[in-house]
Structure 1
Amino acid sequence: MHRCYFISILDLTDRAELPRWLAALARSAETEEDTRRTVATILGEVRSGGAQAAIRWTEKLDRVVLDLDRLRVPESALQEARTRLDREQPELMSALRSMIANIRRFAEGQRACLQDLSLGLPGGGTVGERWVPLKRAGVYIPGGRAFYPSTLAMTVIPAQVAGVERIVGVTPPKPEATLPGAWGIDPLVLACASELGLTELYPFGGAQGLGFLAFGEPAVDILTGPGNRFVSEAKRQLVGTCGIDALAGPTELLVIADGSANPAWVAEDLLGQAEHDPDAAAVLLSEDRNLLEAVSRELTARIEASPRRAILEQSIQAHGRLIHAERELIVAFAQAWAPEHLEVCVEDPESWLPDLTTASALFLGTSSAEAFGDYGAGPNHVLPTDRSARFASPLGVATYLKRQSLLRLSPADAASMAPWVDRLAQAEGLVHHGRSAALRCGHNQK
């Protein structure tokens, strides 16, 4: 009988050990160079060959033959999927609508917080900035091991609330013999697209999908949405061609728990993260050794009985940890790792909040399972990973907006500023900058 690998309890006793612990959690980069070369080849061919090149790569990688004249999934197929889901699985359709409503409510709250700025000047002019939506957005909906209508909603709704004029989605197809959806796309994804009002959806995945969005007729201003290493590498190589939300890697969960936490709940939260991917990381930190031992027993039993046992054992063997440490070291670990998801399953989570500033998303209290965030409690589930949460933020309405500065000077304002602007420009050797400002002085009109 196989035993669960997530059984040993490790002790963290010294802050100096943190770099070694974090290095052990780093995901493998063995294929990194191969990935770069493959992605560069795909993007180069799509840049020069357009949709035809994307079709060729889709046939090669996904074993799906697409027709150039029938690429876009027709709205009739989207509507049909929604009608069928409404008729045959009304409870699932209701759940989908609940998710959409919560995500939209949260996005609308975000937009309301993004206020334009206007500051008055002594001479009657103003300086400020305004938020303006991007024109075209491309959203990537993963579809490797599973299909994610939740990610479709998480990427499309903030763009809609931001006011993006054109939103184009791509998602990897599967051979229609294995999936009874239009163009090999999961019917639930199609139904979700229809419910959202997304009318442009194409059956492209991977680097060829992002190349199609960046170089094709859509020529989007920004690419958003998570994916595998090929998607992340394609985003990296497309920096400068268009905006990107983040270079998302394998998913991560850190749970901080005390003796008040339910071991079964904690175990399922860890397994919920581990089941995503063999490279997923699921880590538990606690001051309470009894809790760690109870969670270890729960994990062993639940993995052995799980229909997803194979993938759970892979991810947990590589990146699962049960760690015993004092509170100071728990905080230091969390701050240094900056995990994608951080659950604070303790009696008084608010007392921890001031010290936990680097994680992408926090889930406070034992009832706030990360799964609720994944499926639409409100905040977005497209999040920075691989320690980039130290400086990056979750996807949201602001992702699809840009700030545009505004300067409106009155003649009096210009005349007042011109002398010192001229002096500074001359000091920097930029003569014509100074002269440009000086011309605005009332005594110098030539």
Structure 2
Amino acid sequence: MAGLARNGETEADTRAAVAAILADVRREGLPAVLAWTERLDGVRLDPATLRIPEAALQEARVDLDRRRPELMDALREMIARIRRFAEGQRTCLRDLELALPEGGTVGERWCPLRTAGVYIPGGRAFYPSTLAMTVIPAQVAGVARIVGVTPPKPQSTLPGAWGVDPLVLACAAELGLTELYPFGGAQALAWLAFGEPAVDLVAGPGNRFVAEAKRQLIGTCGIDALAGPTELLVIADGGADPAWLAEDLLAQAEHDPDAAAVLVSADRPLLEAVGRELEVRVAASPRRAVLEQSLGAHGRLVRADRATAIALAQAWAPEHLELCVEDPEAWLPFLTTAGAVFIGNASAEAFGDYGAGPNHVLPTDRSARHTSPLGVATFLKRQSLLRLAPADAAAMAPWVQRLAEAEGLVHHGRSAGLRAAHHHP
């Protein structure tokens, strides 16, 4: 998708800005985090009362349950569906043990990470859904310490504690998350990696600065994926509803000025009808400003036949791929690179965002070619196990010695040979 390439100068500026922030936080710690938060978000935080108290989280949950019980019910339904899917994932991740001829075993086991940091985007909007999507797989995996960070807004503009939306606080309480801090951006990821938490892995989506921070932190800690500005590719035929398609495109475009929303179809009348729907709906939208920016920069209506649509999808590897076609199952075997596929007209991507089950934290910027959606496995590592009986070591030693000597690693061969020499059946 050459037409969706990000601006090279902007990318260079992003890399430089993030590198400066990471260096500051690595050198100065929390004071640098607070300084960058004040500079970038316009919020001055008190280091003495930085962590949002559990009492504030519980108060938000009780208040939401009292004022808007239907919204609390929706939150609980989303949490239950995400947890059910995550628990299903965990049952598929089985330890392995294979017996050796002389009595030993080889295998591997899944071990939970000790600590994980989860990033919940803020700024233009708040995302309790992302909080659930990141925390629940970590909990199901068995991570002992989960630390959440989310950007604040000034107290004067938001009636929540520490500038964090009350719905996010209520969701944290419902999930049982007890560590939540009101700062975001690259400085938050730097603190998670270099600061007191020193997490094993950071997870969660964000803007281009967050994605770049994760890229630069590779090697310092693990990352889930390079989940930057969101992407949607819709492949549709003449039987699709233009209004549905337009709203699906707008649902992605409203996230961020850098969001990409693309429709591909061989049907010219459909593309023209969607174009008209977009004009009317953007003009009437309360999110018109961000829609005009994202659609203007990264929105596309593309006419292409089936083969070209498949080739385009495979080359781009979009974060989200909707198949609004008559027989989507016939397309599915040819579409392997997308992060998540939404199959059939009823399967709007919005259902994936709000807890149908599969995770909405997905790789972007073509990294879906090789990276999977966030899930329970993200917060686990495989550990190899080798348990040799003395007879196994004696049987293996001769050929291990020959291979080691052929590679010039004499002490490898001697190490194996000693086991054989001291074995007396």
Match of residue 8 from structure 1: none
Q: Does residue 82 of the first structure (1) align with residue 26 of the second (2)?
A: no
Amino acid at match of 2:345: T
| 1:238 counterpart residue number | 217
1:316 matched to 2:292: no
Query: Equivalent residue for 2:163?
Result: 184
Specify which of 280, 284, 292 is matched with residue 305 of structure 1.
284
Give the Cα separation in 1 of the matches to 2:285 and 2:168.
26
In the alignment, what sits opposite 1:67?
A: 46
CA contact (8 A) 1:415 1:442 kept: yes
Q: Which residue of 2 aligns with 1:149?
A: 128
TM-score between both structures, scaled by the size of structure 1? 0.93
TM-aligned CA deviation for residue 227 of structure 1? 1.1
1:115-126 matches, cutoff 5 A: 115-126=94-105
1:402 correspondence with 2:381 = yes
1:195 pairs with one of 174, 189, 202: 174
Q: Is the 8 A contact 1:174 1:184 kept in 2?
A: yes
CA RMSD of aligned residues (A): 1.2
Q: In the alignment, does 2:108 pair up with 1:129?
A: yes
Question: Matched residues in 1 for 2:421 and 2:219: separation?
Answer: 43
**Contact 2:313–2:338 (CA under 8 A) maintained in structure 1:** yes
Q: Aligned partners of 2:329 and 2:395: how far apart in 1? A: 50
Mapped contact 1:128–1:406 kept (Cα < 8 A):
yes
Residue 272 of structure 2 corresponds to residue 290 of structure 1? no
Partner of 1:6: none
In structure 2, how many angstroms separate the alpha carbons of the residues matched to 1:73 and 1:301?
43
Name the structure 1 match of 2:318: 339
In the TM superposition, 1:164-175 aligns within 5 A as 164-175=143-154
Which residue is equivalent to 2:88? 109
Corresponding residue to 2:307 among 322, 328, 331: 328
Which shows bigger deviation, 92-101 or 280-289?
Answer: 280-289
* CA distance in structure 2 between the partners assigned to 1:283 and 1:33 by the alignment: 25
CA distance in 1, matches of 2:343, 2:278: 22
Deviations, residues 144-203 of structure 1 (Å, cap 9, x unaligned) = 211111111111000000000000001111110111111111101000000000000011
Determine the C-alpha separation between the residues in 1 that align with 2:171 and 2:194. 26
CA contact (8 A) 2:103 2:392 kept: yes
Q: Please, what TM-score do these two structures have when normalized by structure 2? A: 0.97
Deviates more, 1:256-265 or 1:149-158: 256-265
Matched residue type, 1:154 = M
Q: Counterpart in 1 of 2:4?
A: 25
Q: Which residue of 1 aligns with 2:401?
A: 422
Secondary structure at 2:411's aligned position in 1? helix
Give the AA of the match of 1:40. A
Report the alpha carbon displacement of residue 397 of structure 1 after superposing the two structures with TM: 0.5
Contact 2:390 2:423 in 1 (8 A): no
Structure 2 SS opposite 1:168: strand
CA offsets 1:56-112 (integer angstroms, 9 cap, x no match): 221222121111110100000000000110000111111111110111011001111
Where 2:196 maps in the other structure, the secondary structure is coil
Structure with bigger RCO (C-alpha 8 Å, 6+ apart):
1
The secondary structure found in structure 1 opposite 2:263 is strand
CA distance in 1, matches of 2:162, 2:422: 71
Are the structure 2 counterparts of residues 263 and 401 from structure 1 closer, same or farther at C-alpha, using a change threshold of 3 Å? same
Q: CA deviation at 1:292?
A: 1.7
In the alignment, which of 412, 419, 422 is matched to residue 440 of structure 1? 419
SS of the residue corresponding to residue 323 of structure 1 reads strand
The amino acid of 1:106's aligned partner reads: F
Give distance in 2, aligned partners of 1:153 and 1:46: 28
* Residue 40 (structure 1) shift: 2.0
Choose the corresponding residue for 1:359, options 328, 331, 338: 338
| Deviation (angstroms), 1:41 | 2.1
**Corresponding letter in the other structure for 1:96:** L
Aligned residue type for 2:2: A
Runs of 4+ in 1 over 3 A off after TM superposition: 442-445
The match for 1:11 is: none
Task: Report if aligned partners of 1:100, 1:153 keep a CA contact under 8 Å in 2.
Answer: yes
Tell me how far 1:442 sits from its aligned partner. 4.7
1:4 matched residue in structure 2: none
Q: Give, as a single letter, the amino acid of the residue that structure 1 aligns with 2:246.
A: A
In 2, the alpha carbon distance for the partners of 1:122 and 1:109 equals: 34
**Could you report, residue by residue, the CA deviation over 1:313-333 in whole angstroms, capped at 9, with x for unpaired residues?**
221122111112111111111
Partner SS for 1:31:
helix
Task: Report the AA paired with residue 12 of structure 2.
Answer: E
CA 120–298 in structure 1, closer or farther in 2 if over 3 Å, else same: same
Return the alpha-carbon distance in structure 2 between the equivalents of residues 34 and 356 of structure 1: 34
Take 2:312 and 2:225, find their aligned partners in 1: how far apart are those partners? 23
Q: Which amino acid aligns with 2:91?
A: A
Is 2:210–2:228's contact at 8 Å kept on the other side of the alignment?
no
Determine the C-alpha separation between the residues in 1 that align with 2:378 and 2:124: 27
Cα deviation code 1:183-227 (max 9, x no counterpart)? 111101000000000000011111111111111111100001111
In the alignment, residue 316 of structure 2 is paired with which amino acid?
W
The alignment-based identity, stated in percent, is 77
Contact 1:438 1:444 in 2 (8 A): no
Q: What secondary structure sits across from 1:439 in the alignment?
A: helix
- The residue that corresponds to 2:258 in the other structure is 279
Tell me, yes or no, if structure 1 residue 97 matches structure 2 residue 69.
no
For residues 79 and 8 of structure 2, what CA distance do their matches in structure 1 show?
36
The code of the aligned residue for 2:228 comes to G
Q: State how far apart, in whole Å, the 2-side matches of 1:383 and 1:172 are.
A: 20
**C-alpha displacement of 1:443:** 6.2
Tell me how far apart the structure 2 counterparts of residues 328 and 37 of structure 1 sit (CA, whole Å): 40
Q: Which runs of 5+ in 2 are unaligned?
A: none
Structure 2 contact 264–309 (Cα < 8 Å) conserved: yes
Deviation at 1:36, TM superposition (A): 2.3
